[in-house]
A and B are shown apart, each in its own frame.
Chain A
Amino acid sequence: MTSTTTSGSAAAGTVVPEVTFIIDDVEVSVPKGTLVIRAAEQIGIQIPRFCDHPLLKPAGACRQCLVEVAMPDREGNLRPMPKPQASCTLEASPGMVVHTQRTSAVADKAQHGVMELLLINHPLDCPTCDKGGECPLQNQAMSNGRATSRFVDVKRTFAKPLAISTEILLDRERCILCQRCTRFSNEIAGDQFIDLQMRGARQQIGRFDPAVLGFDGGGELPLFVGADEDGNPLTRAEGMRTAAEAPERPVGPAALDESGHPFASYFSGNTVQICPVGALTGASYRFRSRPFDLRSTPSVAEHDSNGSAIRIDHRRGVVMRRLAGDDPVVNEEWLTDKDRFAFTWQTAPDRLATPLLRDLGEDGAPGELREASWAEALTVAAEGLAAARDGAGVGVLPGGRLTVEDAYAYAKLARTALGTNDVDHRARPHSAEEASFLGHAVAGHGIDVTFADLERSAVLLVGLEPEDEGGVIFLRLRKGVLAGRTRVFSVAPFASRGLARVSATLLPAAPGTEPEVLDAIGDASDPDLAAAAEALNGGVVLVGERLATVPGALSAVLRLARRLGARLAWVPRRAGERGSVEVGTLPGLLPGGRPVSDGAARTELAAVWGVEKLPSTPGRDLTGILTAAAAGDLRALVVGGVDPADLPDPDLALRALDRAFVVSLEVRASAVTERADVVLPVAPPAEKPGTFWTWEARPRPFAQALTSTALPDHRVLHALAGRLGTDLGLGSLTEVHTELGGLAAWSGARAEAPHVAYPEPPAPGEGQAVLATWHTLLDAGRCQDGEGFLAGTAPRPVARVSAELAARIGVGDGDPVTVSTEHGGITLPAVVTAMPDGVVWLPVASPGSAVRTTLRVDAGAVVGVAAATTDGEQA
């Protein structure tokens, strides 16, 4: 369990006075403010409990943890308290004498009594309950309950299970009303979509459903009806009624949100994990396995740069579910729904199992892919790459999802076996300014800002939507804000619901104007800008990856951090990006932040790598590589986990892939596979060991969860390099770690800081707007494939339109609006949003909103905006 008191006191740097008292005749000293139930844990005494949770505020609701207590009065005489006390709400005080069930018949009887009462309305359906075998109610009923019940009357029953969302199911009969789920939702996530309703024995958790509360118009409760063999909900694609099909609901904050779902929380899965009974279950795991049949492997989540600790539960080689691990330093005990539920992508039907080769047809045109042996595939790949290397050259695109070990192998392969600096892992919009920024301010800097810092410093978010791009960051900020230790500022076009829940002060910026706003922080004429400068002195600036799309923004961030004395951290979305920056999969960066342009750095590294010299020509970035490949100036590409749709210009990417000789290292077949000449299958995270780096630069090593023949990228690259005549020396994890560990820290100069002036912001004309866009946590990304229950909780894609613009083009909330460029248009329901005039926002890659593929532009571009007719045509 998390020790809240010690971490809290350490954070404040103050000494908390100790309190000495007695539990079961054992003297114990704890910091003042410690609850009796926590103090008992410290000396190994387990008091049964349900509502108590170390990360939630005390509730005292279940009454299971009753103990007998005596307190000294003013004269020091011990006075027994007349009633047993809930040890989960009682703070230890000096001289207190506590008797738990181990030494007090009164406490023991009280606990047995409460347990019997908890069970009278419980269905006792343990044999068919997902929680059976790992259930605190079941376990504690055995340890602290009666063997038989005296209850012979009629149990309260409910229809079940209720679908709170497509992903979260509620069996109200099993619920013991401990309120852990509602307290989590209120206190931690800030998503108050479920709460208690009704009272007495009919009290139940619910989502303010009019059918439960008896309001007029309340329709049938949506009951979960199961899933088909592929795990897809049976009723419909999303498993539930859409907003349009749902009956009229009473107006109010608990009604449907913009996503059309009542429990559209990114953190809803945590309620399942902390439920001490089987009342809340996950639809995707329901009736799939028993806990005692599962094997658990601690691991690290692969979906963002937070590196959340997870526990992978698998059975006979199949991952059944993932739970939050307990890591006070990173994710405490919480997890985003994406990290929890999105794992089926690793075993999707399009998973690549064997190497594939594309033979040339008789006419010399590319033929179909066929299965091949590793030996043949590696040979063909090496021949093709060698020819290109000795000719126009090879480009390397590793992608942003790699472990440090795999990324390092790409970096080394490019510089040694392929003799090029044309390597860039950034499979997303990027810029030369960003490359300089990463080389100057990120690579080789080690841990500076930590998760814990976010709870106790003022934080400025620039181009970062914490709830969507880093759920744990969001939770840490919220925790700090609620405790009054953090204040959050955000440079963004609008205050999202996530920003509102961290009480962020919005410093509004239309896309493209961020540098201007950053430079204006401290402007005494604007109270928010002035307050930001004051608060951020010694604070933290968190920079999101999309700032690469704004010329001059990262230069302005560096200026700002220097000016305010604030610490800086860069928060990429993907799990592999921070580690990749560190190990040098950038065209201008070698491992450890060594600039390619620095001769001493190259020499030092060449010695470690045992090669004569390293290429000195700075490489091309991703767009440069693709442009060159499309033009025939690069003849071959080595491509890792890259989805062309994520790239700044997906069309350019496809043309480049079509033209070049492509060696693809992929887990699943993709648009790259369709154009690859050699496909080498690699292992997904569950099937390999490795290390992700958090945005903090904290290494997050994880073990291989499943036995597998699939190879990690570094082993494939090692073999490939061998065929190219280079011993990469990275054939095993040990070799990689030995080599990485042997790399001395770079003591030379870092890359120059970028100094990019910002251009005039774009000026949209009549019927035009500036595009703002970023990824929502749950969208159409390939790493969420195969998880329909999760997809049902994704926010509904909408187009946010500034109020003035909406008025000019005549659209209101819910009206279809079309955002277009010369390449195409995206039509979504409008949500009129308070933001700078002339701005329209779209999700980057949600269903029906593939911005880069459809519009072929990114944030900051001028796009057309118009009301759409119902069939999607522009009016």
Chain B
Amino acid sequence: MATTLTPVLSKHWDAKSSWTLDAYRATGGYQALTTALATDPADLITAVKESGLRGRGGAGFPTGMKWGFLPAPDGGPRYLVVNADESEPGTCKDIPLMMATPHELLEGVIITSYAIGCHHAFIYLRGEVVHVYRRLLQAVQEAYDAGLLGQDVAGSGFQLDVTVHAGAGAYICGEETALLDSLEGRRGQPRLKPPFPAVEGLYSRPTVVNNVESIASVPSIVRYGADWFRSMGTERSTGFGLFSLSGHVQRPGQYEAPLGITLRELLDMAGGIREGHELKFWTPGGSSTPLFTAEHLDVPLDYESVGAAGSMLGTRALQIFDDSVCVVRAITRWAEFYKHESCGKCTPCREGTYWLVQVLQRIEAGKGTHEDLDTLMDVCDNILGRAFCALGDGATSTITSGLKLFREEFEAHLNGGCPFDPAAAALFEYASGSATGGAGTVGA
């Protein structure tokens, strides 16, 4: 039985002025809030636990359990912080969601805040997306004006303020503790854990940090129930999610479907691979996840199955590369991203990415050696699991998996450079000379 799309979050993205409060309300928006405010907060947490909702930011930690880690109220503040610092190459789900229906997120923020006893929630947004920032600010203002935020949320007596904060464009600030430091006005670098944010988070107070999509999924769970949510997806990866297809597909975009759908099914919906080409490799969850190939077309895209197949579901950012693409080139570009974005706190990530880029650039330029390939693998081994936070691990995923899957292609570069024509892979007019960032550049 072919899996079908299950639009929930994206259902009304095409509605007229979908980002306005009126448009959101016209499609039943904020009904879940009314239900939630009449429910005991503990029951809301139970409902989310029972739904099986897992964090949509990449790690897949059960959302309800995370909320349950908060210590008992002590009279002091506790915070909800929404991680909207979507920065991973290939990942493009939260930004369209906030762009199209920011109230969906806001409703989730209000319900979650009510459930965990938070009176000041923060949305930490990637700073470059100014248009989304404006939409969010506008939505928050509308919500205040409509009495959905402020001293008396929807007449319930519950008090909540929401602050939208624009970051300054650092990948590291998507790491939850670096995000908290940045939000506090400090240099964005990950904190030592423990203490975990649930115990000492923002301003050293108990804090829940959740991804945009996770929080935006909460209203639907309240509205339709945990059982409805569990009816989608697999046993341990319940519900639906946004699958972002990009690259060499006919119709790239966000496909909202139950977890467990396969790339083969998604590609069918997206019109298949670019005309006249074959699938070569793809990322199941963004650039921090090990590469898959056509062999993995039927791997169910849920946390367990993808993990069992040797990668990670991550953020369901499916970057599709057809046979025109040089894998060395793609991996080098990703490595350059990680080098550029390494926060510098720990040695393995800071120095390792600096080194990897130089080796990869040499290989791409035809100046590599066989030893370089071994060095790449070993340096990755010395980064993976040795870095301070998970972002260092992510830098190695495509390199180690790429080397395992496409070693011959790497070797083919060793004598004379890249056998591919970059223009053939480009989906836009390609000017030669805008080629690689230039092997041998340093310190950029």
When chains A and B are docked, how far (Å) is the Cα of A154 from the Cα of B353? 13
The reply on B135 being an interface residue by CB < 8 A is: no
Is there contact, CB below 8 Å, between B347 and A200? no
Q: Which of B339, B346, B354, B382 touches A62 (beta carbons < 8 Å)?
A: B346
Is there contact, CB below 8 Å, between B187 and A114? no
Q: Which of B341, B379, B388 touches A200 (beta carbons < 8 Å)?
A: B341
Q: Which of B345, B351, B362 touches A121 (beta carbons < 8 Å)?
A: B351
The reply on B286 being an interface residue by CB < 8 A is: no
Interface code B174-197, partner A: CB below 8 Å = 1, 0 otherwise? 000000000000010100100000
**CB neighbours of A714 from chain B (8 A):** none
The reply on B251 being an interface residue by CB < 8 A is: no
Task: Give 10 nearest A-B pairs by CB, closest first.
Answer: A113-B382, A203-B344, A83-B385, A153-B358, A117-B351, A201-B354, A200-B342, A154-B442, A199-B344, A63-B347
Most chain A CB inside 10 Å of its own CB: which residue of B351, B362, B378, B388: B351
Most chain A CB inside 10 Å of its own CB: which residue of B170, B348, B362, B371: B348
Interface code A163-203, partner B: CB below 8 Å = 1, 0 otherwise? 00000000000001100000000000000000110111111
Is there contact, CB below 8 Å, between B351 and A120? yes
Is there contact, CB below 8 Å, between B344 and A64? no
The reply on A89 being an interface residue by CB < 8 A is: yes
Give chain B's interface secondary structure class. helix
Is there contact, CB below 8 Å, between A84 and B187? no
B443 CB → nearest A CB, Å: 5
The reply on B22 being an interface residue by CB < 8 A is: no
The reply on B158 being an interface residue by CB < 8 A is: no
**CB neighbours of A110 from chain B (8 A):** 382, 386
The reply on B44 being an interface residue by CB < 8 A is: no
**CB neighbours of A109 from chain B (8 A):** 381-382
User: 13 A-B residue contacts at CB 8 Å?
Assistant: A58-B192, A61-B345, A61-B346, A62-B347, A63-B388, A83-B385, A117-B347, A153-B355, A199-B341, A200-B340, A201-B344, A201-B353, A203-B350
When chains A and B are docked, how far (Å) is the Cα of A110 from the Cα of B348? 10
The reply on B96 being an interface residue by CB < 8 A is: no
Q: Which residue in chain B gives the minimum CB-CB distance to A116?
A: B382
A60 in contact with B342 given A84-B385, A120-B355 (CB within 8 Å): no
**CB neighbours of B348 from chain A (8 A):** 63, 113-114, 117
Interface code B427-444, partner A: CB below 8 Å = 1, 0 otherwise? 000000000000010110
Within 8 A of B (CB), among A446-472: none
**CB neighbours of A114 from chain B (8 A):** 347-348, 382, 386
The reply on B221 being an interface residue by CB < 8 A is: no
Within 8 A of A (CB), among B381-413: 381-383, 385-388
When chains A and B are docked, how far (Å) is the Cα of A63 from the Cα of B392? 12
**CB neighbours of B353 from chain A (8 A):** 200-201
Is there contact, CB below 8 Å, between A195 and B187? yes
Is there contact, CB below 8 Å, between A156 and B187? no
The reply on B359 being an interface residue by CB < 8 A is: yes
A326 CB → nearest B CB, Å: 26
**CB neighbours of B339 from chain A (8 A):** 200-201
B380 CB → nearest A CB, Å: 10
Is there contact, CB below 8 Å, between B381 and A113? yes
The reply on A150 being an interface residue by CB < 8 A is: yes
The reply on B343 being an interface residue by CB < 8 A is: yes
When chains A and B are docked, how far (Å) is the Cα of A203 from the Cα of B342? 9
**CB neighbours of A199 from chain B (8 A):** 170, 172, 341-344
**CB neighbours of B343 from chain A (8 A):** 199-200, 203
B391 CB → nearest A CB, Å: 11
**CB neighbours of A63 from chain B (8 A):** 346-348, 386-388
Contact-residue bracket for chain A: 35 or more
The reply on A285 being an interface residue by CB < 8 A is: no
**CB neighbours of A201 from chain B (8 A):** 339, 342, 344, 350-351, 353-354, 443
Is there contact, CB below 8 Å, between B386 and A113? yes
Q: Which residue in chain A gives the minimum CB-CB distance to B388?
A: A60
Within 8 A of B (CB), among A101-129: 109-110, 113-114, 116-118, 120-121
The reply on B57 being an interface residue by CB < 8 A is: no
Contact-residue bracket for chain B: 35 or more
B394 CB → nearest A CB, Å: 14
When chains A and B are docked, how far (Å) is the Cα of A176 from the Cα of B382? 17
Q: A198-B344, A203-B350 are in contact. List 17 more A-B contacts (CB 8 A).
A: A58-B192, A89-B192, A109-B382, A110-B386, A113-B379, A120-B354, A153-B362, A156-B354, A156-B442, A157-B443, A195-B187, A196-B187, A196-B344, A200-B342, A200-B343, A200-B350, A200-B354
A202 in contact with B443 given A63-B386, A195-B187 (CB within 8 Å): yes
B159 CB → nearest A CB, Å: 31
Most chain A CB inside 10 Å of its own CB: which residue of B187, B346, B358, B359: B346
The reply on A66 being an interface residue by CB < 8 A is: yes
When chains A and B are docked, how far (Å) is the Cα of A83 from the Cα of B339? 22
The reply on B219 being an interface residue by CB < 8 A is: no
Is there contact, CB below 8 Å, between B350 and A177? yes
Within 8 A of A (CB), among B321-367: 339-348, 350-355, 358-359, 362
When chains A and B are docked, how far (Å) is the Cα of A202 from the Cα of B351? 10
When chains A and B are docked, how far (Å) is the Cα of A121 from the Cα of B354? 9
A208 CB → nearest B CB, Å: 11
When chains A and B are docked, how far (Å) is the Cα of A470 from the Cα of B377? 55
B365 CB → nearest A CB, Å: 12
**CB neighbours of A153 from chain B (8 A):** 355, 358-359, 362, 442
The reply on A287 being an interface residue by CB < 8 A is: no
**CB neighbours of B442 from chain A (8 A):** 153-156
B347 CB → nearest A CB, Å: 5
**CB neighbours of B192 from chain A (8 A):** 58-60, 89
Most chain A CB inside 10 Å of its own CB: which residue of B341, B352, B371, B443: B443
**CB neighbours of A215 from chain B (8 A):** none
**CB neighbours of A177 from chain B (8 A):** 344-345, 347, 350
**CB neighbours of B204 from chain A (8 A):** none
Interface code A195-230, partner B: CB below 8 Å = 1, 0 otherwise? 110111111000000000000000000000000000
When chains A and B are docked, how far (Å) is the Cα of A257 from the Cα of B96? 47
The reply on B375 being an interface residue by CB < 8 A is: yes
A130 CB → nearest B CB, Å: 23
When chains A and B are docked, how far (Å) is the Cα of A114 from the Cα of B386? 8
Q: Which of A82, A120, A150 touches B385 (beta carbons < 8 Å)?
A: A82
When chains A and B are docked, how far (Å) is the Cα of A411 from the Cα of B113? 75
Is there contact, CB below 8 Å, between B443 and A156? yes
When chains A and B are docked, how far (Å) is the Cα of A150 from the Cα of B381? 14
A197 CB → nearest B CB, Å: 8
When chains A and B are docked, how far (Å) is the Cα of A154 from the Cα of B343? 20
B117 CB → nearest A CB, Å: 27
A107 CB → nearest B CB, Å: 11
When chains A and B are docked, how far (Å) is the Cα of A121 from the Cα of B383? 16
When chains A and B are docked, how far (Å) is the Cα of A198 from the Cα of B345? 11
When chains A and B are docked, how far (Å) is the Cα of A200 from the Cα of B354? 8
